[in-house]
Structure 1
Amino acid sequence: MGGPFASKSFNATRANSIAAKYRRLLQKRPFLLFGLPFLTTIVGGSFMLTPATALRYERHDKKNQRMSQDEALGIGKNRRKVDMKEEFYRLQAKDIDNWEQKRVKRLKGEIDGILE
């Protein structure tokens, strides 16, 4: 006749069930029963997630501020310290008027720019 599931009906099809009443009221007032709860959830979630997001970024900033100035400049333990005055005098002592131009060896097949 109706098969093995004919005697079991879905609760939403019953006239007095909560789901059927909700569907009828939803057709009369869709914004009140669907739109308003949806917008409330979105706005409320935004207010709830704002402090959590701020906390996340504050922790990230604190972690990055712990780096020393040397680490920020990329100077490690095994590199020499740079003193600007020392570098200035070292470069000033070099003879920059006497220098020789050296060509870089080119790879095979690469154009070297020499006109023959």
Structure 2
Amino acid sequence: MRAAMAERIWQTIKRNKTLQYGVPMLLLIIGGSFGLREFTQIRYDAHKRHGKIDPALEEKIKKNKVSLESEYEKLKDAKLDDWKNIRGPRPWEDSKSLQDKQQ
């Protein structure tokens, strides 16, 4: 009797398109979101662990701070008007002879 009842339920499930295709699709979507959450959490935990640097290196970086203003002062005095555009060699050209001609 139990086997017959289980067989009848199984036949009903096989005939019903919602139970055959819809429920597995919903399980895949919902289960996938939980799975992706776990994988992304692993990524963020690994980044947090590897993101820490040595305190001595951190002090060295803070001491050797380069600002935008200091780089501007270096470039302000450079002469940028008298440069020459030199193209690179084509694959079929000899690079050494072309460089010698251009210099």
With the length of structure 2 as denominator, give the TM-score of the two structures: 0.43
Say which one has the larger Rg.
Answer: 1
Q: Decide which structure has greater helix share.
A: 2
Q: Which has the higher contact order (CA 8 A, sep 6+)?
A: 2
With the length of structure 1 as denominator, give the TM-score of the two structures: 0.40
